[in-house]
Amino acid sequence: MATYRNGTPLLDADGSVVHCHGAGVLLHDGWYYLFGEDRRGDNRVSCYRSKDLVSWEFRNTVLTLAAKTARHYVRTDLHLAGRGLRHDGLPEVGPRGANIERPKVLYCEKTGKFVMWMHFENGRDYNAARCAVAVCDTVDGDYTYLGSFNPVGNMSRDCTLFKDDDGTAYFISSSRDNADMIIYRLSDDYLSVDEQVKTLWPGQYREAPVLFKRGGRYFMLTSECTGWNPNQGGYAVARSIDGRWSSIRPFGGPTTFNTQPTAVAEAGGSLLYIGDRWDPSDYFNSRIIILPLSFPDEDVCEVEWADEVDISPEGVKTSSQEKALVRIMLHDKTNYVASDGYNVFAGRLGYANKSLLWRREDADGGFVLRHAESGRCLSGDGIMAEYSADEPRLVWRADAFEKSGLLINQYSGKSFMVFGRRVVLADPDERFGGYRLVTDY
């Protein structure tokens, strides 16, 4: 049995952090192969393998800027992709190379080759919005880069691959500046797009797609578009991949337990959700979260938080302790209420950033928010104070406000407002604000 404690760094057999984000999982010859983003130096895609999804062995950096290229597509330039003019028209200082995200790999029975699809950007901005393809004779060898392109002329950013039971493969990616999610059927060698077969949820701005099949149903997980900040995940279901899909239903909590979908893998008779817990303030501090999926009905997919996941061939077990810590996420979804113990300010999400952590305690008809580090409490004057049982300045209540909430001070009647990175207190009817209390999973 292998036990994974969610939220801790995933380590390989040498005790090194697994650098593999936006990853995909391929089951091959009894091994799970994990392919993901590796942003160190000239590395682009790394590959690890495991028997249980918990203990990982590093295999190879399967795509680097120095990858061998073959010209299946016209644009095969990886290393020099960053060279050119900057936004301000000045020359770029040295090439930085392509930015490769969300690599996924499938095995093609027909050709006996492993085929990788990924999101390609030039390393300076996100305007190229292309997909790219690489291929290899062995699962974890050095992949040959075949070039990048816009599928059927479309923009293509967050992406995934899916192989159906009959061997037909599909590439799925966010298009039209992420407004639409498009499904493409691939050619039988998996190297090209055969046809655009479906445009999903036009105008609904989804990304981070993951497609899997269970009991004759196709399920697609996606996220909203808030960069590396977490948001409410969603799933949809269909009986045929290019047929009618359901509308998007909520998946996980308001921040999908601080994750964004990247893969689903089957182990111990369960389907397991694999999500990235990005750390936007320190990418290399990002984590990988593994949670079992459940299906209370054939068309319904659910996920619950678990501190620990035990995976064995006999089954998957979870265990959790109740958590009391919350983060106060402001309405703009990028800022959180932070404190140094004396002042209150808007902090950026960072999982190691303890200044964002609060403990919610019931008090006098409402609750106080005690700063986890300093032990001082948030007052209605926007400063921090020592707690005393009958101190009305420290007592808050929560009010519903559109899709988020208002945190109203019982004493001053003031509520949070956020201007960029500043948090100020104002009358609630000014309603620029809004927040969510996000349990710190």
| Cβ atoms 411, 370 nearer than 8 A | no
Q: Is 205 within 8 Å of 226 (Cβ atoms)?
A: no
Closest CB to ligand GAL among residues 120, 184: 120
Nearer of residues 177 and 364 to ligand GAL, judged by Cβ: 177
- Strand-pairing partners, residue 403, are none
Decide whether 73 or 278 has the Cβ nearer to ligand GAL. Answer: 278
User: Nearest distance from residue 21's CB to ligand GAL, in Å?
Assistant: 8
In the complex, the smallest distance separating the C-beta of residue 263 from ligand GAL, rounded to whole angstroms, is: 13
Q: Is 364 helix (H, G, I), strand (E, B) or coil?
A: coil
The 10 Å Cβ neighbour count of residue 318 is 17
Do 311 and 272 meet the contact criterion of CB atoms below 8 Å apart?
yes
Q: Which lies closer to ligand GAL via its Cβ, residue 191 or residue 263?
A: 263
Q: Find the shortest distance in angstroms from Cβ 276 to ligand GAL.
A: 8
**DSSP notation for 155-207:** ---SEEEEE-TTS-EEEEEEETTTTEEEEEEEPTTSSSEEEEEEEESTTS--E
- Nearer Cβ to ligand GAL, position 39 or 51? 39
Distance CA 404, CA 434 (A): 6
Comparing CB distances to ligand GAL, the nearer of 151 and 428 is 151
What's the rounded Cα separation, in Å, for the pair 140 and 105?
10
Total count of residues recorded for the chain: 441
Distance of closest approach, residue 336 Cβ to ligand GAL, in angstroms: 17
- Give min distance, CB of 208 to ligand GAL, in A: 5
Q: Which of 180, 88, 160 is nearest to 125 (CA)?
A: 88
Q: Are 35 and 275 in contact (CB under 8 A)?
A: no
Q: How far is the CB of 173 from ligand GAL (least distance, A)?
A: 11
Q: How far is the CB of 233 from ligand GAL (least distance, A)?
A: 12
Which residue type is seen at 301?
C
Comparison of 158 and 440: residue with beta carbon closer to ligand GAL? 158
Binding site for ligand GAL (CB under 6 A): 22, 101-102, 158, 207-208, 225, 227-228, 260
Could you give the CA distance from residue 33 to residue 25 in angstroms, rounded to a whole number? 6
Q: Which residue is nearest to ligand GAL (CB)?
A: 227
Give 280 or 392: the residue with its C-beta nearer to ligand GAL: 280
432 residue type, one letter: F
What is the closest distance, in whole angstroms, from the C-beta atom of residue 250 to ligand GAL in the complex?
Answer: 18
